[in-house]
Structure 1
């Protein structure tokens, strides 16, 4: 069965920015001599801005309001973006390849301003039919809201969509939305093997081909 659309995650899937988020957030904690609790990095991957900013205040102990923690983090990320975004191998080519055959969306946990900046830097604007920030839905990843919103904006059945993801919470989000998931696991906190077993795992985005994605959905 042919897919109706392809939905890409951004951080860690198209852009090599997951580690940058970690550096910026840890830097804020270090400014106040705060320890970084075990599991904090993994817990925040996929959270919406409102969720991770509260986590920084409540779990890490940053002496700010959640809004201020978010502002300082996003300002730090914007500084890194101005220095240049590292694009993962084959990312732009994969989006272009898929866009020749399917509507394309991005469903990202990044704030809208960083999504828009990345799309502009990568030159993908004309290829995308929709972009979603989990700031714009009720709950971030692993909740399905962002992926469901992307399918809604594209006007397609989420069970007929292929999601391209890298991280645990993102994979769970897409699976919870009923999508078929292609995973390109990072070396930076890769998902557990039992979760990857529920996806089609690729080494890199060069392996994301039309023949592959059209083989993933069951016939009806």
Structure 2
């Protein structure tokens, strides 16, 4: 039985924020700076990892720096972009405002370091609409673990059947679905399996600019 929609969990990078290109080559450049050979498929390996897991993975490859230093250097590579220039995806603010106006409790759940996430969300005007920003670092688990989304919903105070998750990455869609949430897939050109995201999600947005009209239809279906 459907319940009223009371909560929405948003991914940030690639879903609300047009930021995926900010990370292009960052891992490779860091490893090369440490004299560590870069293997093919590094981006695919790093995609589901939290920041702490990324640091530990780099250590397993031979990086001798401690976790805190690794994270500081990775963040430093992209910090200015998050604080000063990365834009919202078209339609992102309108969607957030629409849901907030409906009384839906909103949060962002992201793999990005919390300081970077909050800086970008504050600059783009989304932070005031959010109950909180939850990072993998704060949750204590990566986004490929369904418990990540369960913890976000628990913090929102909403039940799974009352909560929708917005994600652009296939592994995140699978994780949120495995946790029992309704999921809306959001197209991002950085996701190589966008067709599969569309197939597995309960709803799909090829652009957030379509969101208000689509959400009105889904609202009737989901409540």
Q: Note whether the superposition's TM-score is higher than 0.5.
A: yes
Moved more, 157-166 or 63-72: 63-72
Q: Deviations over 1:170-202 (max 9, x none)?
A: 212321221111111321133264453120221
Q: Which residue of 2 aligns with 1:106?
A: 108
Of 15, 18, 30 in structure 2, the residue corresponding to residue 16 of structure 1 is: 18
Q: Which residue of 2 aligns with 1:71?
A: 72
Is the Cα–Cα contact under 8 Å of residues 185 and 197 in structure 2 kept in the other structure? no
Superposition pairs of residues 29-40 of structure 1, within 5 angstroms: 29-32=31-34, 34-40=36-42
Q: Which residue of 1 aligns with 2:204?
A: 201
Q: Deviations over 1:40-79 (max 9, x none)?
A: 21222242111122223324x4443333221100111212
Going from structure 1 to structure 2, the CA distance change for 1:195 and 1:123 (only over 3 Å counts) comes to closer
Q: Where do 4+ consecutive residues of structure 1 move more than 3 Å?
A: 32-36, 192-196
Is the Cα–Cα contact under 8 Å of residues 5 and 162 in structure 1 kept in the other structure? yes
Is the Cα–Cα contact under 8 Å of residues 134 and 145 in structure 1 kept in the other structure? no
The DSSP-based 3-state class of the residue aligned with 2:39 is coil
Is the Cα–Cα contact under 8 Å of residues 108 and 134 in structure 1 kept in the other structure? yes
Q: Deviations over 1:91-142 (max 9, x none)?
A: 1221111111111111111111112111211112221122211111231011
Q: Following the alignment from structure 1 to structure 2, what is the Cα–Cα distance between the partners of residues 215 and 45? A: 34
Q: Which residue of 2 aligns with 1:154?
A: 156
Going from structure 1 to structure 2, the CA distance change for 1:86 and 1:26 (only over 3 Å counts) comes to farther
Q: Following the alignment from structure 2 to structure 1, what is the Cα–Cα distance between the partners of residues 84 and 27? A: 18
Q: Which residue of 1 aligns with 2:121?
A: 119
Moved more, 208-217 or 1-10: 208-217
Is the Cα–Cα contact under 8 Å of residues 48 and 141 in structure 1 kept in the other structure? yes
Moved more, 124-133 or 184-193: 184-193
Going from structure 1 to structure 2, the CA distance change for 1:74 and 1:212 (only over 3 Å counts) comes to farther
- How many residues align? The count is 217
Going from structure 1 to structure 2, the CA distance change for 1:169 and 1:79 (only over 3 Å counts) comes to same
Of 211, 214, 217 in structure 1, the residue corresponding to residue 219 of structure 2 is: 214
Q: Which residue of 2 aligns with 1:7?
A: 9
Is the Cα–Cα contact under 8 Å of residues 29 and 62 in structure 1 kept in the other structure? yes
Ranges in structure 1 where 5+ consecutive residues have no aligned partner = none
Ranges in structure 2 where 5+ consecutive residues have no aligned partner = none
The DSSP-based 3-state class of the residue aligned with 1:197 is helix
Normalised by the size of structure 2, how large is the TM-score? 0.87
Moved more, 203-212 or 8-17: 203-212
> Are 2:176 and 1:174 aligned?
yes
Is the Cα–Cα contact under 8 Å of residues 165 and 184 in structure 1 kept in the other structure? yes
Q: Following the alignment from structure 1 to structure 2, what is the Cα–Cα distance between the partners of residues 149 and 56? A: 27
Normalised by the size of structure 1, how large is the TM-score? 0.88
